[in-house]
Chain A
Amino acid sequence: MALLVDVKNLSKIYPAGSENVQAVRGVNFHVDEGQITSLMGPSGCGKSTLLHLLGGMQSPTSGEIWVSGEALHGRGDEALSQYRQSTIGFVFQFFHLLPHLDAVENVELPLLIQGMSALEARDKARDLLNRVGLGNKEKRRPSQLSGGEQQRVAIARALVHGPKLLLADEPTGNLDMANGKAILDLIRKVSSQQNCAVLMATHSREAAEWGDMVIMMRDGQVHGIYPVRK
């Protein structure tokens, strides 16, 4: 498998009053195309920060991030926004759907941001909604969907524009076990259809072992990288 993401000696420091908080410290790892990798560690170990750095939502304090051979570190807002538009899909623990848009409108949003026409965007969005099993609920607003359904919509939104890398921050954290498993299976299914790599942050061992690789984190550092025995 070809190399997709290569992280070298990555660090992120936040100012917090008179002290600094080192959220990520000298992290090194890589992710291959189509690979499903879990980031596992206790709360506050830096998983979410690492995802945000890989998603171009924050800039590192030091270190390097290479995606498809291009440097992400040191880039400006325009370039990072373009990166997020075309390369990344993000799924949050609390879904973060836009409450005043219905399901299909939430899903088509990334395509409209990319400049696609409304008709074409609507078609693609419907296709994704069907693939996540919500084709008959496209006009429902988030408040009219269950937690599991909302997360499905969020997954559809994250994948509608064909990203290369899906970043998922505790995607099952707000769901019961049954729904959580269903969501993980869905992520695997849809991302593999698009040859999209997945990097998922979780504190659950069960969720972590659902992927191909596990990266163990503690206190902002990587403590081990292990393949998952099937």
Chain B
Amino acid sequence: MESTLSVNNKPNFKEIFWRFTFRHIQNEPARFIFTLLGIALGIALMVAIRLANGAAISSFQDSIDLMAGKANLSLSSMGVPLPETIMKDLVDTRWLGQLLPVVEGKMAPEDNPKEFITVLGVDLLKDGEARDFQVLGAQDKALTGAELLKLLPQPDGVFLSQKYAEAKGLAVGQKVHFFINDQVQTLTLVGLLQNSGVGRAMDGTLALMDIAAAQKVFGKIGKLDRLDWIIPQEADRKNLEAQLQKLYPSYKVERPARRGEQVEKMLAAFRANLLALSLVSVLVGAFLVYNSMSIAVVRRVEEIGILRTLGVTQKQIIQWVMAESFLLALAGVLLGIIFGKLLAYDVLKVVGKTIQNLYLPIPLEQRLPSVVHAGGWILLGLVLILAATIPSALSTANIEPGLSVRKGYTVVLFERRMWMFTLAGLTAWALAVLLSLLPPLAGLPWFGFGSAFCLLIGLVLLAPGFLSFFNSVFGKVLRLILPSEGYLAFRNLLSDLSRSSVALGALVMAVALMVSVAIMVGSFRQTVVLWLGQTLKADLYVRPAADRGGPMESTLDPQTLKAFNQIPGVKYSEKLRTLSIPWDGTDVTISAIDMNVLANNGTVVLKSGGDAEAALKLLVGQRNLLVSEPLALKHQIKTGDWIILVSATGPVSIRVQGVYYDYSNDHGTFMMDRAVYASLFKDDSVNGTALYLQPGFEPDSVIQDILKRLPSGTKVFIQSNAALKNGALKVFDQTFAITYGMEAIALIVAVLGILTTLTSLILERREEIVILRYIGARRNQVTQMILWEAGWIGLLGNLMGFLAGLVLALLLINVINVQSFGWTIQWHMPGTFLSFALGLVFVATLAAGYYPARVADSLPSMREVTKE
């Protein structure tokens, strides 16, 4: 006789799964939809950020690669042009491969000076071997070599991209006016760059000129910006690279392909922070799924008990729950991918603008990579969400068939195990503290992110303990002071901590994120406002008109500078030279200022180095400099250190007079006297000037005076002190716009979780609710009770979230920000914003209680209340 105890039957899983899972979805569509939406929103945000980041990086890399072409070695001057005679010195390198000189410049269209076009001046006949471009003439006909040769002698000829010309309605042969440095120049559009290769670079804002014409137009006669080589043999290339680095230590010698890697490195911290923030939304979504599956399991305890009685094994129950979870997670992720792809275009615009403002002034192509690019993160999101369902699935294994048909069993089980959650939560927080003390890893605050993650997880784990604690402290008082609906509502939450605490935990997490980011951004903004107020002391700031958009690369003519000194009302003119140089494996900004003016009229805010005025005076005419805080932190530079700069005359030792606060960039700045810079680097060009006015002179009237008195054809862009500050703050606000969007999404997901939980709790408690009605409770009292429950979650969520948010803000400001960017941020509490935001969260949670209240209103009659 066959043993009754041997295992040999496999259930008809398909039929059972269909009956149970899809019937439940049919019966509870709201829970399913809200959970699905929660997952989808979290994933959508992560996908959008990832795709936008990917688009930005690939757009930059594309542009860099297209501009470099086949060139595999380059020598550049980083701001100070090379003498043309260097070609003669390096003529012998031609036997290794092609040697191609390049002049670079920047110009702004007269009709929209906020735009800018990058110009490459090249040997148009030979450069086609390096860079991929096709030149078109009138009627978009490709130009032959002979036709191109005829155009070359034209001293003002420019080739704009087809995309740009079409956008501006320009035709071949047309005259176009551009601001170049501080002059208006008229160029002739002699041809178009086809929309491929170089014509596609920088989203069509790259132009070509013949090198001689570019030298003339940009005032670089006898000068070059770069030499490119195409060297077929890698061994030869390496040798030449080493020789050039030795011969020209003050120039940058590199493989052009490495620029892409450098761009990635430069943007690493920014991108990592964005992704980390988006992961929080996924986390909140994962908790929503955990909550939803917990509810599903609890609501099906009886069902599971019956199935177990009928012979379904523990393993099979777990498989069923996991299969259902997987279905839900997969559906949510797929929906999230669709939403994410749509959202990514908007995110790309915002992210792209930020990157251009803060890091790289290269226009972006609005072209997203395929979703596969976000594949790794989508998988991570799916894994996180599935992991969130494991506890619910495993909890079914602990339910014995006989007991599980008894109601309230899982509640008792949870309460017995609550100490484990509290212990786990405290452990997570202890780990958070430990991780916060660790240094950055590969330049990024990975341990800081880990600490924040542990803090958030700890919050959720501690939520049930917090509720219990709150009751033990305030329970008796609440009973006396609250109306019956309010007190009953509070007791209802306590009666099923396993579910109410998860919904609370997810809300706490989202509120903590919102509070911490609001404090961080508010503090940062306030710090920047104070810093701008302290450091921007001049009345007017002048730049060449070509520099209105993008970085300061254009220069002011000496005649223009001379003219400023003759403007009535101008007391002092403080000239500025700014450029990027290679230093210690990175690119660093040099800010060379007329220190004799700055020391007496302006100031810097020093982190170390004593009195600011005294420190600045020690820079006048001396080989001393100030180092910006981010640079000092990343390279461990202190006041009193000596650093080596490779100047035009060779390496020079310069003393660090102090470290100053600087929020204009995060890669770092050396500030020194312009006269000292000019003597060391043989460069007396000026990118801008700050004007200090005599008392009694109004900035606006002086601006008008300047514009009238400037030499003919000179065009400058002048901003008042207030306008410059406002512009800087506008860039700041644009940068953080995306974080506000992400917080909003995290909050929406959390509120969806509350809605789902409350609805399920109501359905679970329908017998109790009907009994309440039978013993005299009015319909609106029941409704109020449910709204009170929502209100309690909102209130406690806000309270716990706010406190946790304060701690998280400390982590963001003092660990993650410092390790990512190197800035000191002064603590500031944005009271008005937080009050408004927390109030809105509370209202949203109340609104989330409205639907469950309606459900309670429509519950069936006493006939249903006949079970044990």
Q: Give the complex CA separation of A57 and B302 in angstroms.
A: 14
Mark out the residues of chain B between 290 and 318 whose CB falls within 8 Å of any chain A CB in the assembled complex: 302-303, 305-316
Kindly state whether residue B614 has any CB partner on chain A within 8 Å: no
Residue-wise interface mask of B (309-350) relative to A, using a CB-CB cutoff of 8 A (1 in contact, 0 not):
111111110000000000000000000000000000000000
Cβ 8 A contact of B307, one of A70, A88, A113, A116: A113
Count, chain A residues at interface, CB 8 A: 43
Q: Give the complex CA separation of A58 and B305 in angstroms.
A: 12
Kindly state whether residue A13 has any CB partner on chain B within 8 Å: no
Among the stretches B169-177, B399-407, B695-703, B801-809, the one at the interface with A is B399-407
Among the stretches A34-42, A71-79, A192-200, A209-217, the one at the interface with B is A71-79
Q: Give the complex CA separation of A112 and B305 in angstroms.
A: 16
Kindly state whether residue B476 has any CB partner on chain A within 8 Å: no
Cβ 8 A contact of B314, one of A77, A87, A174: A77
Residue-wise interface mask of A (6-39) relative to B, using a CB-CB cutoff of 8 A (1 in contact, 0 not):
0000000000000000000000000000000000
Residues of B with C-beta under 8 A to A118 = 12, 15
Residues of A with C-beta under 8 A to B708 = none
- The answer on a CB contact under 8 Å between A115 and B11 is yes
Residue-wise interface mask of A (30-65) relative to B, using a CB-CB cutoff of 8 A (1 in contact, 0 not):
000000000000000000000010010110000000
- The answer on a CB contact under 8 Å between A121 and B12 is yes
Q: Give the complex CA separation of A155 and B223 in angstroms.
A: 99
Residues of A with C-beta under 8 A to B310 = 84-85, 90, 109-110, 113, 157
Residues of A with C-beta under 8 A to B309 = 55, 57, 84, 90
Known: A68-B1, A70-B3, A92-B405. A82 touches B311 (CB 8 A): yes
- The answer on a CB contact under 8 Å between A96 and B306 is yes
Among the stretches B19-27, B245-253, B381-389, the one at the interface with A is B19-27
Mark out the residues of chain B between 3 and 30 whose CB falls within 8 Å of any chain A CB in the assembled complex: 3-12, 15-16, 19, 23-24, 27
Residues of A with C-beta under 8 A to B24 = 100
- The answer on a CB contact under 8 Å between B400 and A58 is yes
- The answer on a CB contact under 8 Å between B311 and A110 is yes
Q: Give the complex CA separation of A114 and B11 in angstroms.
A: 5
- The answer on a CB contact under 8 Å between B9 and A82 is yes
**A114 and chain B: residue at smallest CB distance:** B9
Kindly state whether residue A67 has any CB partner on chain B within 8 Å: yes
Residues of B with C-beta under 8 A to A144 = none
Q: Give the complex CA separation of A68 and B313 in angstroms.
A: 22
Residues of B with C-beta under 8 A to A130 = none
CB distance from B42 to the nearest CB of A (A): 30
- The answer on a CB contact under 8 Å between B402 and A55 is yes
Residues of B with C-beta under 8 A to A84 = 308-311, 401
Q: Give the complex CA separation of A117 and B867 in angstroms.
A: 33
- The answer on a CB contact under 8 Å between B9 and A85 is yes
The listed residue with most B CB atoms (<10 A of its CB), out of A75, A81, A94, is: A81
- The answer on a CB contact under 8 Å between A83 and B5 is yes
Residues of B with C-beta under 8 A to A96 = 302, 305-306, 405
Cβ 8 A contact of B19, one of A90, A94, A105: A105
Known: A112-B12, A112-B16. A82 touches B400 (CB 8 A): no
Kindly state whether residue A98 has any CB partner on chain B within 8 Å: yes
**A84 and chain B: residue at smallest CB distance:** B311
Kindly state whether residue B92 has any CB partner on chain A within 8 Å: no
Cβ 8 A contact of A100, one of B23, B307, B312, B866: B23
Residues of A with C-beta under 8 A to B402 = 52, 55, 57-58
- The answer on a CB contact under 8 Å between B867 and A81 is no
- The answer on a CB contact under 8 Å between B400 and A57 is yes
CB distance from B38 to the nearest CB of A (A): 24
Kindly state whether residue A228 has any CB partner on chain B within 8 Å: no
Residues of A with C-beta under 8 A to B312 = 81, 85, 113
Q: Give the complex CA separation of A68 and B6 in angstroms.
A: 13
**B311 and chain A: residue at smallest CB distance:** A85
Known: A82-B4, A96-B306. A101 touches B19 (CB 8 A): yes
- The answer on a CB contact under 8 Å between B4 and A83 is yes
Kindly state whether residue A179 has any CB partner on chain B within 8 Å: no
Known: A82-B9, A100-B24, A114-B311. A94 touches B868 (CB 8 A): yes
Residues of B with C-beta under 8 A to A94 = 867-868
Residues of B with C-beta under 8 A to A77 = 313-315
**A143 and chain B: residue at smallest CB distance:** B864
Q: Give the complex CA separation of A79 and B19 in angstroms.
A: 25
Kindly state whether residue A204 has any CB partner on chain B within 8 Å: no
Q: Give the complex CA separation of A113 and B5 in angstroms.
A: 15
Cβ 8 A contact of A82, one of B5, B308, B314: B5
Known: A96-B405, A110-B311, A117-B12. A82 touches B6 (CB 8 A): yes
**A86 and chain B: residue at smallest CB distance:** B4
Residue-wise interface mask of B (393-423) relative to A, using a CB-CB cutoff of 8 A (1 in contact, 0 not):
0000000111101000000000000000000
CB distance from A91 to the nearest CB of B (A): 10
Q: Give the complex CA separation of A187 and B7 in angstroms.
A: 29
CB distance from B191 to the nearest CB of A (A): 73
- The answer on a CB contact under 8 Å between B315 and A67 is no
Residues of A with C-beta under 8 A to B313 = 77-78, 81-82
Residues of B with C-beta under 8 A to A93 = 868
Q: Give the complex CA separation of A94 and B834 in angstroms.
A: 53
**B303 and chain A: residue at smallest CB distance:** A98
- The answer on a CB contact under 8 Å between A113 and B16 is yes
- The answer on a CB contact under 8 Å between A115 and B4 is no
Residue-wise interface mask of B (611-635) relative to A, using a CB-CB cutoff of 8 A (1 in contact, 0 not):
0000000000000000000000000
Q: Give the complex CA separation of A72 and B5 in angstroms.
A: 8
Residue-wise interface mask of A (125-166) relative to B, using a CB-CB cutoff of 8 A (1 in contact, 0 not):
000000000000000000000000000000001000000100
Residues of B with C-beta under 8 A to A72 = 5
Q: Give the complex CA separation of A107 and B305 in angstroms.
A: 16
Q: Give the complex CA separation of A84 and B312 in angstroms.
A: 8
Q: Give the complex CA separation of A93 and B15 in angstroms.
A: 28
- The answer on a CB contact under 8 Å between A113 and B315 is no
Known: A55-B402, A57-B401, A109-B310. A82 touches B7 (CB 8 A): yes
CB distance from A34 to the nearest CB of B (A): 16
Residues of A with C-beta under 8 A to B868 = 93-94
Q: Give the complex CA separation of A58 and B404 in angstroms.
A: 11
Residues of B with C-beta under 8 A to A113 = 9, 11-12, 16, 307, 310-312
Q: Give the complex CA separation of A13 and B44 in angstroms.
A: 53
- The answer on a CB contact under 8 Å between B311 and A86 is yes
Q: Give the complex CA separation of A121 and B401 in angstroms.
A: 24
- The answer on a CB contact under 8 Å between B11 and A112 is yes
Q: Give the complex CA separation of A75 and B5 in angstroms.
A: 9
Known: A70-B3, A70-B4. A57 touches B308 (CB 8 A): yes
- The answer on a CB contact under 8 Å between A112 and B4 is no
Q: Give the complex CA separation of A75 and B752 in angstroms.
A: 44
Q: Give the complex CA separation of A224 and B519 in angstroms.
A: 76
CB distance from B746 to the nearest CB of A (A): 34
Residues of B with C-beta under 8 A to A83 = 4-5, 311
Residues of A with C-beta under 8 A to B401 = 52, 55, 57-58, 84
A-B contact pairs, 15 of them (CB 8 A): A57-B401, A58-B400, A79-B5, A81-B312, A82-B7, A82-B8, A82-B9, A84-B309, A94-B867, A100-B27, A109-B310, A113-B311, A118-B12, A157-B310, A164-B4
Pairs of residues from A and B, 6 with the lowest C-beta to C-beta distance, nearest first: A85-B311, A57-B402, A52-B402, A57-B401, A81-B313, A84-B311
Known contacts A68-B1, A82-B4; can you find 17 more A-B pairs with CB under 8 A?
A57-B308, A68-B4, A77-B315, A81-B312, A86-B4, A86-B311, A94-B867, A100-B23, A109-B307, A110-B311, A112-B11, A113-B9, A113-B16, A113-B310, A114-B311, A115-B12, A121-B15
